[in-house]
Amino acid sequence: MDKYPVNTPPVQSLDDLREQESPVVIFGAGFAGQVLLNFCTSVGISIACICDNNGDKSKLDLPGCEVIPASELVNRYSDACFIIAAADIGDVVLQLSELGYENWIAGGLLLKGIDISEHACKGPLEFLEYSVSTCILCHESYLTPDKIFLRSVDLVITERCSLKCQDCSNLMQYYETPINYDSASLIMTVDSFLNEVDEVNEFRVIGGEPFMNKRIDLVLTHLSAHEKIKKVVIYTNGTIVPKGDVLKALMNAKIVLIVTDYEALSRNIDQLKQILDENKITYYAAKAQNWTDCAAIGPQHRSVDEQKDVYKRCCAKNLFTILDGKFYRCPFSAHVDRLKAVPKDESDYVDIAGFASNQENAKTLKSIIRDFVFDKDQLGACDYCVGRFLEDPKITPGIQTSAPLSYQRRR
């Protein structure tokens, strides 16, 4: 089946919504969904409930509105009209269509132009604005077939990490001789990639620990100056305090740090926060949490249908990742390819660096990226991956290993 069977919303406007006889349900309980709830209430549209694929969201205490897991939709509402508030709208449209629902509107269209401060929910206004603008852009992109807009792209600048987490979902625990990537090659790949896509909401600079790459400043300066990138987000573990040119490169309005707090392991987190505060650099610090047991590598022996089902349900399949000049769907498929832990499957990535050096291929790079972003229904790597699902039990984060974990090389 075509991954996106419909991309024209059957419901187009507030007036269309008001005329609905069936209950109106918001799909997606994140900030954009909560702002939509407040907005709809203010314009007299009654919301029956909010639903979300993440069952934990049903614990949210929203005034006058119940949050239910999407798994309860069919039993609770045999008929409904949906306002989609999730950024990954294509996945939701497909999910609704498979559940037998046909009536939906892209919530991003309703959010466009509204004053968020008038409809704000709990949470920092800056975060709300960012979530709402992401929702608007993702929905516009979905409704504009010629555009490639990506919510986020992870750029791996190093395989080195100052911690050794045995359950690292980026598979750092398997690298025996991790390397830093050369900033000139990283920049060349990013430029070739951005020549073909229209916008990236968030370029995430990751590792390992990104500050292990001493020339991160060159990459950050380049990314921050690029007009197609809205935010540059650095994921760090609170062990390294940037200084000199690196600190200077962080002083840019586009840059945000996400500092994961591993308690005693994040040995320099207080000093890091102090430096960031002193230099007015935006950051959010949060305890390591919500880890799942998803880092094992090994054959799963699934049928094709089981494989497609795993891919469809996997919450990591849109964590687009650039690693070593190639563009992948998720960190797992990127790193198992790099580690040679799966049989070679060239359909699991787009070779950006390879295309950039080949004029004949460069003509079709945009269409190849587009097909890769919108039309995949499984990866070869999925058959060596347990998958990442919202309902998975949580494990203790940050348990350290003293030596790299072994795995079977398959090529």
Q: Does residue 330 touch ligand SF4 according to CB under 6 A?
A: yes
* Tokens coding 183: 């900033």
| Element at 150 (helix H, strand E) | strand 149-156
Q: Does residue 329 touch ligand SF4 according to CB under 6 A?
A: yes
Q: Does residue 323 touch ligand SF4 according to CB under 6 A?
A: no
Q: What's the chain's length in residues?
A: 411
Provide CB contacts within 8 A for 3, sequence distance 6+. Answer: 90, 94, 374, 375, 376, 377
Q: Which of 47, 249, 379, 405 binds ligand SF4 (CB under 6 A)?
A: 379
To the nearest whole angstrom, how small is the minimum distance from the Cβ of residue 100 to ligand SF4?
26
Compose the 331-350 pattern: x for residues touching ligand SF4 by CB under 6 A, - for all others: -xx-----------------
To the nearest whole angstrom, how small is the minimum distance from the Cβ of residue 391 to ligand SF4?
14
User: What is the C-alpha separation between 147 and 143, in angstroms, rounded?
Assistant: 9
User: What is the C-alpha separation between 201 and 151, in angstroms, rounded?
Assistant: 5
Q: Does residue 387 touch ligand SF4 according to CB under 6 A?
A: yes
Nearer to ligand SF4, 126 or 375 (CB): 375
Nearer to ligand SF4, 165 or 232 (CB): 165
Among the listed residues 180, 163, 181, the one whose alpha carbon sits nearest the alpha carbon of residue 172: 163
Q: Does residue 90 touch ligand SF4 according to CB under 6 A?
A: no
Q: How many CB atoms lie within 10 A of CB 198?
A: 15
Q: Which of 109, 135, 314, 350 binds ligand SF4 (CB under 6 A)?
A: 314
Compose the 42-71 pattern: x for residues touching ligand SF4 by CB under 6 A, - for all others: ------------------------------
Q: Count residues contacting ligand SF4 (CB under 6 A)?
A: 26
Q: Which of 220, 369, 385, 405 binds ligand SF4 (CB under 6 A)?
A: 385
User: What is the C-alpha separation between 42 and 224, in angstroms, rounded?
Assistant: 38
* Strand spans (E) along 276-328: 282-287, 291-292, 321-323, 326-328
Residue in this structure with the two tokens 């709402």, named with its chain if needed: 132
Q: Does residue 322 touch ligand SF4 according to CB under 6 A?
A: no
Q: Which of residues 152-191 bind ligand SF4 (CB under 6 A)?
A: 161, 163-165, 168, 170, 172
Q: Which of residues 281-310 bind ligand SF4 (CB under 6 A)?
A: 310
| Element at 69 (helix H, strand E) | strand 67-69
To the nearest whole angstrom, how small is the minimum distance from the Cβ of residue 65 to ligand SF4?
31
To the nearest whole angstrom, how small is the minimum distance from the Cβ of residue 371 to ligand SF4?
16
User: What is the C-alpha separation between 308 and 4, in angstroms, rounded?
Assistant: 15
Compose the 209-238 pattern: x for residues touching ligand SF4 by CB under 6 A, - for all others: x---------------------------x-
To the nearest whole angstrom, how small is the minimum distance from the Cβ of residue 146 to ligand SF4?
26
Are β-strands 326-328 and 349-351 bridged in parallel, bridged antiparallel, or unpaired?
antiparallel
First to last CA, the chain: 32
- Amino acid 38 reads N
Q: How many CB atoms lie within 10 A of CB 274?
A: 12
By CB under 6 A, name the binding residues for ligand SF4. 161, 163-165, 168, 170, 172, 207-209, 237, 310-311, 314, 316-317, 329-330, 332-333, 379, 381-382, 385, 387-388
